[in-house]
Structures are given as C-alpha cells and as structure tokens.
Structure 1
C-alpha cells in the first residue's frame, strides 16, 4: 500500500518538476467603450461613423516562457505568446493577430556578455521597446489612445532579432524579416520584400531617448508598399512624472494596402486624385507618399491615481512631392489610471480626432475598463 502511495506521489510530482522552468504570464484587459469612429462597425450606408456602445477587448494575452542554463554564461530561451479576446469575438484565427502563438513567439540563445538572439515571430523595435507616447488601454475600434501614431508597430514572421547588452545606459537591436512569398512585382519580376529594423536606445536616471529605422525591400516594385519609416521618442519617467515626445516619418509608394495613410477617408481622397491624374486603376504605384506626425504625452502620479494628457498631430501628406491639402489630423486623449493593487487597474479615457478633410466626421471615444496582470 505504501509503495502505491509513493508511486502516486511521484506521478503527481514529476509533471510539476518537468515544468519547473516554465513561467505562465499574461494580461486580461477589457472595458466598455462608446465609439463614434471610422474603425467601428457602427456606420451608416455612406460609411459615416455612428455612435454606439461596445464591450471590447483591450489586447489581452497569455504566454508561456522559459529557459535552460547551458553553462559558461549561455542560456537557451523560448516563448509562446497568444492573443485573447475577452469580449468573445474575433477569436477564430481569421487574421494573423489571433490564434495560438501569434504574438511574440520564438526560440533563441542569451549570453551574459553579448546579448541575445531569437528566431520566430518577433516584434519590431517600436512595438516592443517604444510607444512611451501611448501609455493607455483601448481597442482597435477606439481613438481613446494614439493608435494612429502607433499604427505601424507590429510583429514579423520569419524573423531573426539580435538585442545587445546594456552598456552604461546604451543598447541597440537589429531585426531582419525574410520574405518567403517573393510575389511578382509591377514589372513582372520576382520581388523581395524583406524587412529591416535597427533600434538605438539610451536610458539613465529616468531620462530616455530611442530611435528606430525600418525599411522594406523592392518597395517601388510592389503595389502600395511601405518604403522606410523613422521614429524618435524621448522623455522622462521618474519621481511620479511621465513625459514623452514622439516624431515619425513614413514613406511608401502608392497607398493601396499601405499603412502610410491615416484613414479610409484620406485613402478615398488620394484614390480620387489618382484617377484625376490619369491612373486607370486609381493607384499611383510609382508616386512616393510621405506622412509626418508628432505626439506628446504628460502624466503625473499622486497616490493611486495617474492622469494622462496626450496630443498627436498628423501633418498634410505629400504624394509625388506635392502636398495633399487637408490630409492631416489633430487628436487629443485624456486618460486616468487608478491602481487597485500592483496587478489590477481601473482605466478610463476620452479621445477626440479632428480631421482636416472637409466632409469627414470627427471621431470620439469614451472608455472605462479593468486591467489585470498575472
């Protein structure tokens, strides 16, 4: 009898021992939103936004990570992170951001003196290491955060990323995303849309400065391709003070399927301009589209409360070197975070976007929700 009890105890203990180096982590984030935005599903027959109440997920996720000490300062590292949908929608793996292992998922090596290298689906530098100008929580339908300013930030399949160690506050990274599709280009030749990203950082005594450069290969030979992207962020985060400044410039060829334009109304205007200029497809694939934006965020923590005020400005775009009038925007966001504990917050925000394009409706969002980290 005692032998049977010992065997049962060992059977129960062995799985736990086998998983001793596995960490389970994540965030559960969701809230009520009132949205009147172009990204919302609530529109009239003409595509104009209509206000409505929504329960939305605010990018919840769950992950598993671990590592093994290989000796001599070398360690194997891995991670599998997945998107969750607390509102019960879009969780059927219809797009690349959903499903198992579709957030940062990798295997790699880390060294005490030389940094780390990872292979898999990996975040670019702005997505993982920047976004200080956008500290809020909101859904993709909302303008309750600076989602337009951070719209380019993302993850890349078939990627390899190197991160350096920190030298007196300085560090850098490099990411290369392989193009395994190699589609036919506008001239019929095989293209290579590889993605290259370099990031530089300095952080010391609460002050930070970060720069990111990204580019896409064969951009001028792919309809609506991004070409290059610069992002700069700087600020101060210490002693209850939160200040962040951001500036970015994005260039691409044409606009069909490109993230370089601000929203669908601006794309429609560019399409109209293209047709007027003689493009039979309504797409100027060989004309360079350039956008410029800045963002400012300030916050101050007193007790459990941290209010934030953000402002973002999109300047008029240029297409083929000519200014596209009334193609910019102004956005204001007021947010308030209340810490119920070290892991649970209540967050609320109000956002407003004013588009310069005549006939384009302003956008508004109001949100109130909960965030729990584990």
Structure 2
C-alpha cells in the first residue's frame, strides 16, 4: 500500500510542477471556393484573362497552438509568459513563436511584457473582424493590413471604472535589425497607444501608431476608432481608420489586389498601383493617405449566429490630391453554428472589389464551409 502511494506521488510530481502551464489553441479549416475578375487594362498589364477559373481548395483559417503560464512571486506580483505559433493543417508553417510570444510581469499596476506582441491597432481588430477564412475576400484583410505583431515592449494598465490604456514601443534596431551595428539608415522607431472603455455591453476603442521615417523619410501614423455593443445576443460594431505616410500607394494597391499582385511581383518590376488603379507609374512608391470605414452586425439565436459586414475605402490621396479609382468595397455574409462550446461549423461568402468597376479593377468572389475547434 505504501509503495503504491509513493509511486502515485512520484507520478503526480511532474503534473504539479506544470500546474501553472496551460496548453491551448485552435484548429480551423475547410473548403474555400474563389474566382477573380480583372478589368480589361489590369488583365492586359498582367498578361492574364479577365475572368479566372474557379479555384477550389482545402484551406487553413489560422490554426494555432500555444503554451502560457505564470508564477506567483509574492506581493501580488506574477511572472507571466506565452509562446504561440501558427500550425496550419494545410502544411507550410515552420517558425516557432510565430504568433504573440512574450515574458513579463503582472500585478496591481497592470502588466509589462516584452517579446513579439500584437500592436494596439491589431488588438482592436477583434471587434472589427470576427470572420474566419484564408482568402482576403472572406475577412477584412484590406482594412486590417495595418495590423502588426512587432518585437516590442508594452505596458497595459489595470481597468479603472471601465477604462484601460496601453503604450508600446519598438526600438529602431528591432524595426530594422540589418542596420543595428551601422545606423546608416534612418531610424524607424515605432510607438503605439490604445485606450479602451467597456460598460454594460457598450465598448469603445482608440488605437494608434506612429513610425519615424516610415515612407520616403516621412513619419507615418495610423489611427483607428471602434465602437459598438456586445450583449444580449447582439453584436454591432463600427470602425473608422485613418493613415498617412504609413504605406506607399503601391502597398495599398497590393492589399486591394488580394494576392493578384504580390510583393515578389513588385520586386521583379510590377507597378502595383498602375496595374490595379491605373494611376501614374511614378506614384507607386509615394506615401499615401487613406480613410476607411467598416461595420459588422450579428445576432445569436440558439446555436446559430448569422452575421454581415461591410467595409469601404475612400479614394486615396498622394501629396494631398485625391486619386481616381483608388477606392475599395467589401461585403461578407455568413453564419456560425455551435455544436458545442468548443466546436463550431462555419459558412460564409465574400465579395471584394479593389479600384472601381472599369478598365482597372480586381474583383474577388469567394465562399467557404469549414469547422473550428478550440482547446
């Protein structure tokens, strides 16, 4: 009997040692169908047909696995850590700690973390884009292109009467590590800030970023406001986003193209903004000024949650001048069905049009059926 108790105690020791470590994650994937239509001039410049074949593929929607834990240090102080990575069931993910990963301290003062952290702007996307999917037409990929996960240090305050705040900093040598021992390039230090409010189901968020010498040695900034209601089975959110000198006009065009124009193609000489928008070739590398809005509404009825979203990007500006054909529109509709608290069936359809309906445009229609399991 004593031997059995000793064996049982020894077997339990590793479990006790790891009691503060949590394994968690999501597996989510399904079948996506998509088709691309190009404007006549866009197709000609790319050497492609105006209407593509219909693509059908098994796609991963962002599966991930993570480990997190904490240790009580006394005096209401905890050491906290997390390591999280993408684990696509469609293959291809190799990098460890590819998602938010950090170490830090948490207490009555709030929490301080260092590592690969979501920016405050990226964190606000949880209330902007609730969709799953790989194709950019099935989630708000254009609106969220300014989201980042950066090597940085971040402070998050405690909640006071519904309010909380965050500040975040990326040093120049993390923003541009290839230049860390020479400092020949202009510094690209990046600063983020966030302010959140929640009360009786209502919420509001501000998130912003400032980057030195972001484009053409001009300082860039991005700002996002999100507000809405999430209670009594109803979810409604509206968001507005403004960015100036955060990206080039070519970057904006690449995002709207939804993969039709890639960074590799641009490196090989493709002029993204001229191909997608029809704007002058010399504007492609110029810093852009953009304004966008997005809205989502959902209502939970039993196990089913139908949902609809709309996003619109207004005409971009370069040097203060509005550019014709640089806007975008997007609509997503769908529903989730909860089999349990952890397993959900997904169905959605999306439409995204970059530029205007004319000789220059990239239009994507896509749909998916999938499954998500959380653990």
Task: State the partner residue of 1:306.
Answer: 305
Shift of 1:110: 0.4
Shift of 1:220: 4.3
State the Cα deviation string for residues 334-366 of structure 1 (Å, max 9, x = none): 010111111111111000123315232421110
Q: Whole-Å Cα distance in 2 between the matches of residues 269 and 33 of structure 1?
A: 26
Q: Residues 256 and 328 of structure 2 are in contact (CA less than 8 Å); yes or no, is this contact kept in structure 1?
A: no
Match of 1:267, SS state, is: helix
CA distance 1:45–1:259, shift in 2 (3 Å) = closer
State the Cα deviation string for residues 28-49 of structure 1 (Å, max 9, x = none): 11111002259xxxx9952865
Provide the aligned length of Structure 1 versus Structure 2.
Answer: 347
Q: Residues 277 and 325 of structure 2 are in contact (CA less than 8 Å); yes or no, is this contact kept in structure 1?
A: no
CA distance 1:80–1:312, shift in 2 (3 Å) = same
TM-score (norm 1): 0.85
Q: Whole-Å Cα distance in 1 between the matches of residues 276 and 303 of structure 2?
A: 46
Q: Whole-Å Cα distance in 1 between the matches of residues 89 and 254 of structure 2?
A: 30
Task: State the partner residue of 1:70.
Answer: 73
Q: Residues 328 and 357 of structure 1 are in contact (CA less than 8 Å); yes or no, is this contact kept in structure 2?
A: no
More helix by percentage: 2
Q: Residues 183 and 190 of structure 1 are in contact (CA less than 8 Å); yes or no, is this contact kept in structure 2?
A: no
Task: State the partner residue of 1:115.
Answer: 110
Task: State the partner residue of 1:174.
Answer: 167
State the Cα deviation string for residues 15-68 of structure 1 (Å, max 9, x = none): 222211101111111111002259xxxx99528654210111111111101101
Unmatched runs of 5 consecutive residues or more in structure 1: 94-98
State the Cα deviation string for residues 300-351 of structure 1 (Å, max 9, x = none): 1111111011111111111121111011111111010111111111111000
Task: State the partner residue of 1:151.
Answer: 145
TM-score (norm 2): 0.84
CA distance 1:260–1:58, shift in 2 (3 Å) = same
Unmatched runs of 5 consecutive residues or more in structure 2: 38-42, 262-271
Q: Residues 182 and 193 of structure 1 are in contact (CA less than 8 Å); yes or no, is this contact kept in structure 2?
A: no
CA distance 1:64–1:215, shift in 2 (3 Å) = same
Shift of 1:105: 0.6
The higher relative CO (CA closer than 8 Å, separation ≥ 6) is in: 2
Asked if 1:239 corresponds to 2:240, the answer is no
Q: Whole-Å Cα distance in 2 between the matches of residues 326 and 257 of structure 1?
A: 13
State the Cα deviation string for residues 166-197 of structure 1 (Å, max 9, x = none): 0011011011112313667xxx9432111111
Task: State the partner residue of 1:295.
Answer: 294
Q: CA RMSD in A?
A: 2.7
Shift of 1:144: 1.3
Q: Residues 182 and 191 of structure 1 are in contact (CA less than 8 Å); yes or no, is this contact kept in structure 2?
A: no
